[in-house]
Structure 1
Amino acid sequence: MNDPLPLISIVIPVFNEEDNVDRTYAELKRTTAALVDYRFELLFTDNRSTDSTFKILTRIAAQDPDVRVVRFSRNFGFQRSVLAGYRLARGAAAIQIDADLQDPPSMFRAFLEKWKEGYDVVVGVRRQRQESALLQYGRHLYYRMLLRLDGPHLIADAGDFRLIDRSVIERLRLINEPHMYLRGLISSLARRQIGIPYNRSQREFNESKFRLRALTHLAADGIIAHSSFPLKVSFYVGIVIALASALLAFFYIALRTWVPDAAPPGFTTTQILLLLGIGLNSTFLGILGVYVGRIYDQVRSRPMVVISDLLNFDKDIGSI
């Protein structure tokens, strides 16, 4: 008796994608139908959309038992939405793709070929993007900085379009980090990973949910979640300021000793130094506060997401 075809889970996080869901479903079904050596399930994670996205997904799931849908009780953010999809995936491997199809489903075949070669993480590496030159340059600098901070296991210009093996999914199930940078986390869990270059298309419908604020937040997560660099910066800058203050104090003492009449008014100097000290203390206490706050979130051990609706699931899950 022949072994059943391996099941591959396609994880699609959605939020207010009513203009994209039908065409995304149709394109994914067309692409996966051509990959006859595998079986596929489509797992949509709805981050509490406020439009008709969930209504459309309900209709699709009623017609197709290979479509499973998870709706959260509120918007838990993109990172948690993707991680919940991985944890709920039943496949021997999972491929994450956005609902706007800027990442081409035609790459699935290449991902699966590398997976069969023994790679447990296969990442799409974006050669070019349809966005402003300034934003592309900013991304380029950020990824290079992250490589220096977090080590060589990261792949420059790699996004969330990836395949991960079941072994990586099982390791992800053991991690409960309320603040995470999933791209770096998955790369750190990989035994063998490889990047495949591709060109990212322009978004055709709706606007991207990743505005400048969201991108800045994601970038900060990437640094803070995987590096203590900000703490080191605050330490070294504090040392430099302390030395500079000591030298300035010796200068004023010498000036007061050797040229008493040339000494500047002490009040102004004192105020400047006090303000400088207060400003530095506030800055570095703020950096420490970010890390302490994340420790606080970690020790509370709250559920990563709370689920309100499940479609085509065998049992109620409630939370993850």
Structure 2
Amino acid sequence: MVNATDTAGGDSRPHSVEVSGKPLISIIVPVFNEEDNVDRTYAALKDATGLLDQYRFEFVFTDNHSTDRTFERLQRIAEADRDVRLARFARNFGFQKSVLTGYRLARGAAAIQIDADLQDPPSMFGPFLEKWREGYDVVVGIRRQRQETKAMRYARHAYYRLLQRLDGPHLIPDAGDFRLVDRTVIERLRQINEPHMYLRGLISSLARRQTGIAFDRSERVHNESKFRLGSLVRLAASGVLAHSSLPLRVAFYVGILIACCTAILAAYFLALRIFWPETSPQGFATTQILILFGIGLNSIFLGILGMYVGRIYDQVRLRPPTIISDLVNFDRDLASVERDLLK
């Protein structure tokens, strides 16, 4: 745990704050079109943190350019509570970058990220903080049960274990984004500028001591989940691409296999032509099939290579992860905050 003294007004970097022996804990809440949830979420967070009087709390909401009244409702909450800090993005930058910005804006000695739908229970804050006090710098919530179909549960189960085999044992199976992260890990995270971060895996890889706590995930009450099947597939692909070169290796080995099969097939047709010319096919259909097969195979592998090259291109451009249009309850101006996000 890292502690620092709060300074007035114009500090240039986020920092942990401890007053009267009470460490500051940042609660990070990414939101997008959650107008029916934000009041309920804020009340639940205040109730949960009110029971932990040995800590001070700030609530960092990152609004991913909601198109409903989410920002207006959060602004009203922030005006009544100075512990609520609000950043609204100029456009939708995606869930991962919204969470990353929340971590970079956090000032606490530790930060806890929780979704606005409250499927992850705020009552876990206490157990998370107990493990943090024991010396763990990352405490992960492990989803024991969740309200979804069996097929989706099996798919998640297989994916998490595949990702663990690809990247190593530090990735905890069935762990989501609900976690506590120590200030030391946040500072290491600030030094990494990857445009396509897979935060679950990256944070675990930066941890010195990590542990998990199992909990049951509840059903979403208001609105629908913003993670459709396509979003889940893209997140899963991002996890594989961010932590492994496996697709490139698979492309190489499959290419070798296809080349060997093609050589065997060519030898077979050559033998037919030499020893049994009367049974030899005319060749047109076979030639066309092989050509089309080769074109299709090349397209697949070029697509895989293109995904990696595209990530390299995004990396060298060094664009900011998010553009913030509005800030509420920040001591610094917008230009200062955005400069800090690039550090």
Q: Distance in 2 between matches of 1:234 and 1:195?
A: 35
After TM superposition, the structure 1 stretch with the greater mean CA deviation from structure 2, 193-202 or 244-253, is: 244-253
Unpaired stretches in structure 2, ≥5 consecutive residues: 1-18
Corresponding position of 1:273: 290
1:7 corresponds, among 6, 24, 46, to 24
Tell me the distance in 1 between the aligned counterparts of 2:192 and 2:117: 28
Report 1:295-310 matches (<5 A). Answer: 295-310=312-327
C-alpha separation between the residues in 2 aligned to 1:252 and 1:215? 46
Kindly indicate whether residue 255 of structure 2 is the aligned counterpart of residue 231 of structure 1.
Answer: no
Could you list the per-position Cα deviations for residues 153-195 of structure 1 after superposition, in whole angstroms to 9, with x for gaps in the alignment? 1000000000000000001111111111110010111111001
RMSD of aligned residue pairs (Cα, Å): 0.9
Aligned to 2:190: 173
2-side partners of 1:222 and 1:317: how far apart?
32
Cα offset, 1:3, TM superposition? 4.6
TM-score relative to the length of structure 2? 0.92
Q: What amino acid does structure 1 have at the position aligned with 2:218?
A: S
> Which of 57, 81, 90 is matched with 1:40 structurally?
57
Counterpart CA distance in 2 for 1:26 and 1:3 is: 25
CA-CA distance at 1:36 after TM superposition: 1.0
Equivalenced residues, count: 319
- Whether 1:264 and 2:256 are equivalent positions in the alignment is no
Q: Deviations over 1:208-254 (max 9, x none)?
A: 00010111110110111111010011000000000011111111111
Query: How many angstroms does 1:266 deviate by?
Result: 1.1
The match for 1:315 among 318, 332, 337 is 332
- Alignment of 1:199 with 2:195, yes or no, is no
Q: CA deviation at 1:147?
A: 1.0
Verify: 1:287 aligned to 2:304, yes or no: yes
CA distance in structure 1 between the partners assigned to 2:39 and 2:270 by the alignment: 76
Letter in 1 for 2:112: I
The answer to whether the aligner puts 1:19 opposite 2:32 as a matched pair is no
In the TM superposition, residue 317 of structure 1 has moved relative to its aligned partner by 3.3
Provide structure 1 residue ranges, at least 5 long, that are not aligned to the other structure: none
Q: Matched residues in 2 for 1:300 and 1:224: separation? A: 19
Match of 1:216 in 2: 233
Asked if 1:96 is matched to 2:113, the reply is yes
Equivalent position of 1:136 in the other structure: 153
Query: Once structures 1 and 2 are overlaid, which stretch shifts more, 108-117 or 310-319?
Result: 310-319
Question: Which residue is equivalent to 1:115?
Answer: 132
**1:240 aligned residue:** 257
Moved over 2 A (4+): 317-320
Residue equivalent to 2:15: none
